[in-house]
Structure 1
Amino acid sequence: MAFPRASQALSRFTVLDLTRVRAGPTCARQFADWGANVIKIDALLEEAGSEQLGGPRHGSDFQNLHRNKRAMTLNLKDPRGREVFMRLAEKADVVIENFRPDVKAKLGIDYESVRKVNPRIVYGSISGFGQDGPYHKRPGFDQIAQGMGGLMSITGAPGEGPMRVGIPVADLTAGLSCAMGILTALLEREVSGEGQWVQTSLLQAQIFMLDFQAARWLMEREVAPQAGNNHPTSIPTGVFKTSDGYINIATTGGRIWERCAQTLGAPEFITDPDYATAPARSKNRDALNARINKLTETKSTETWVNELNAAGVPCGPIYAIDQVFADAQVEHLGMAQDVPNVEGRHIRLVSQPFTLSRTPSKMAARPPEFGEQTEEVLAEFGFGRDEIADLRQRKVV
């Protein structure tokens, strides 16, 4: 039976996934979820159950990263394993890896080596700090990138010291950036007929995500401080207590501020010289937030969310993660989807954040077991039955 594809959008592409942990698998997942033939190459260990980077294979983290892929085993440290990989790469469109820069060269599967057998290959590399430069040999880790990329210095409450973000944002954005780079290179290949090397790093991705905070320094030489839950430029924007929880209120521009003041039942804020203009609200932010907080505490979260949104003031509840997936709009968007599997396991995972009208993405296949489709994949690439048996006997696959 043919392997089910998650979509037809990228079904013409074959991707060799050499990645581990999170940033690389995030990149490869974008191709798997949109229908590419993604082959996860598991490092051949002594035992399939040996502890691997990325957590237990049936754990939620691994399952979420590796759905819609197939898996094969391969010992890349064996010269014959390298030969097998090159035969795969000769027919593939994309290779994705997140080894440290020197590791792939030692294995003989670096971009230049692969390019010799397939000039059309698009080779995606994710590292901690880049493929060259003074830090290129350092191991990469999300929290290190958050710190060096400036994010931790602007996260958290003022005076409480640096604070990491609650998700591995550097890993995730590096993976997504690499996927976008690979797609860009595939589009360019349609014109030139040649592949190329796509490179990104956790550090680059994190700095890019600073966005306007980085621009404030580069253009105006302003170092952004920690602001806690307060937005650095749109005031008042932040977290306010209600009678039964908390809400976010966001005001941008004078008209929304006026509507906000009216809905809060404090029209006097509009003409008060301390709050009438954006510079005044910025200067008196703490006092204004305290006054707003006294008002929001008088009603429930649901009431304020309804009243403020009805008045055209952006406002939303602050959910715990279980509440996120219970929200009516989240359910409507289909952000959680069940993954079919003959084992009857409960596999419910986060879906893609964008949709395509003709070629939608779906959860078509559960994440593969260790090396589950090794024979199937090798046969598709032209390996004979006896050859596969020999590779197994020699512990190459």
Structure 2
Amino acid sequence: MTGALSHIRVLDLSRILAGPWASQILGDLGANIIKIERPGKGDDTRGWGPPFLPDAMGGASHDAAYFACCNRNKRSLALDITSPEGQQIIRDLVKTSDVLIENYKVGGLAKYGLDYDSLKAIKPDLVYCSVTGFGQTGPDAHRAGYDFMIQAMGGLMSVTGQPQGTPGGGPVKVGVALADVMTGLYATISVLAALNHRAVSGEGQHIDLALLDVQVATLANQATNYLITGKAPTQMGNAHPNLMPYQSFPASDGHFILAVGNDSQFARFCELTGLAGLAEDERFLTNRARVENRDILTAKISAITVDRTIDDWLALFGREGIPCGPINTLDRVFAEPQVQHRGMQVELQRPDGARLPGVGNPIKLSKTPVRYDIAPPFLGEHSRDVLTRDLGLNEREIEDLIARQIVETNE
């Protein structure tokens, strides 16, 4: 592969979502990603279905769609790292690698001699990224952490959902594993920063990333609102704690989003909807006043918007520069002309001929665009390739590793 990171090799010992999300981004940017998986089972998410990926005959393969969301542009080496021979293969790969990503429990790789301190003795400039639920230090460092529990512990669920006391009210998780995804993004940023530091200093380093840290950090304005006031925010449904009107409103055939971000937009909105007097009312003159009187303003706007269809309002507001949008289901998301124009759906082909749809990378680089070269791999699909091309093992040595079940191929 070519790309901005085509000179970088990454050993990916992570599984599930946060670590693989990071390594996929690095792979899209051209890095050579070697995904280390357990023989016989592989990454946990291979079994997280249905749905499962199609096979060449139009049936279902053994790999879940979940696995495909974060494992393209990687070569799969199925390797038993609990064996001394498997551990030595990792050490040999580390000697010519730049980055290692892992999400084992704290201390989990030390018993195999694959922890940072052990590997930096082999490769002093190695960038070693550890992703855990709670970090390498602290009273909870030993605990396993999963996205759902982290969304709860980290406060995201306390500000997500309909207000307490309303029908369906109470804390709700986000519909995707957002703590994992955001941790993957922070891991990518951290790896790139560490590589840049290495380019200047020649030094590698250990990156310690925790899902809980990331979830707290990405509470953004909600966290600072609390720290300033001492008052914990709660669920507000689709309303915004700091802006108004910035929420969903009813139309005659459903709901749409109105996202007014400043006073001039509000004045134009009022003029378009026949509510011009509201823009001059002291209760709604500024955003601060509108937030303080949100219940009154919400009722006045809803009484108007409910009289016309979603498409009518979107057309009107769109022409006049009022931020608004539909609440799309995923079929409508991928049918959006803008989404199609930006290449946010891609397709890759597996060696058996099966064609797999996937979501595109949003990074648009003018000189080194992202690449989609390798479909989400079969378990052990590239075992021979890695052992031959990257380690220089001969056929007899590889067959011996396979016979002793240290290495698995998908042949």
TM-score tier after normalising by the smaller chain length: over 0.9
1:4-29 CA distance string (max 9 Å, x none): x2x42111111111111111111111
**Corresponding position of 1:110:** 115
**Corresponding position of 2:21:** 26
Native 8 Å contact 2:363 2:370 kept in 1 = no
Letter of the aligned partner of 1:121 in structure 2?
Answer: L
Query: For the residues of structure 2 that align with 1:29 and 1:60, how far apart are their CA atoms?
Result: 15
2:89 is equivalent to residue 84 of structure 1: yes
2:345 is equivalent to residue 345 of structure 1: no
1:137-148 matches, cutoff 5 A: 137-148=142-153
Which stretch of the first structure deviates more once superposed, 360-369 or 31-40? Answer: 360-369
2:298 is equivalent to residue 289 of structure 1: yes
Query: What is the number of residues matched between the two proteins?
Result: 391
SS in 1 for 2:109: helix
SS in 2 for 1:291: helix
Letter of the aligned partner of 1:104 in structure 2?
Answer: L
1:52: Cα distance to partner?
5.6
Native 8 Å contact 1:340 1:364 kept in 2 = no
2:196 is equivalent to residue 201 of structure 1: no
2:394 is equivalent to residue 384 of structure 1: yes
Native 8 Å contact 2:77 2:383 kept in 1 = yes
Q: Percent identity of the aligned residues?
A: 38
Native 8 Å contact 1:21 1:53 kept in 2 = no
Question: TM-score normalized by structure 2?
Answer: 0.91
**Corresponding position of 1:279:** 288
**Corresponding position of 2:36:** 41
Letter of the aligned partner of 2:388 in structure 1?
Answer: A
1:324-365 CA distance string (max 9 Å, x none): 110111111111111133433231101111110121113212
Letter of the aligned partner of 2:344 in structure 1?
Answer: M
2:309 is equivalent to residue 303 of structure 1: no
After superposition, the Cα gap between the structure-2 partners of 1:100 and 1:53, relative to the gap in structure 1 and judged at 3 Å, is: farther
After superposition, the Cα gap between the structure-2 partners of 1:50 and 1:93, relative to the gap in structure 1 and judged at 3 Å, is: closer
After superposition, the Cα gap between the structure-2 partners of 1:51 and 1:214, relative to the gap in structure 1 and judged at 3 Å, is: closer
**Corresponding position of 2:58:** none
**Corresponding position of 2:98:** 93
1:151-205 CA distance string (max 9 Å, x none): 1111112112211111111000111111110111001100111211111111011
Query: For the residues of structure 1 that align with 2:42 and 2:320, how far apart are their CA atoms?
Result: 58
2:77 is equivalent to residue 72 of structure 1: yes
Unaligned segments of structure 1, at least 5 residues: none
**Corresponding position of 1:166:** 175
**Corresponding position of 1:58:** 63
**Corresponding position of 1:354:** 363
Native 8 Å contact 1:73 1:374 kept in 2 = yes
Of 2, 8, 11, the match for 2:6: 11
2:263 is equivalent to residue 254 of structure 1: yes
Query: For the residues of structure 2 that align with 1:113 and 1:333, how far apart are their CA atoms?
Result: 44
Native 8 Å contact 1:22 1:54 kept in 2 = no
After superposition, the Cα gap between the structure-2 partners of 1:177 and 1:50, relative to the gap in structure 1 and judged at 3 Å, is: closer
**Corresponding position of 2:56:** none
1:71: Cα distance to partner?
0.6
Query: For the residues of structure 2 that align with 1:48 and 1:251, how far apart are their CA atoms?
Result: 47
Question: TM-score normalized by structure 1?
Answer: 0.94
1:293-343 CA distance string (max 9 Å, x none): 121122221221121122221111110111111011111111111113343
1:48: Cα distance to partner?
7.3
Which stretch of the first structure deviates more once superposed, 279-288 or 65-74? Answer: 279-288
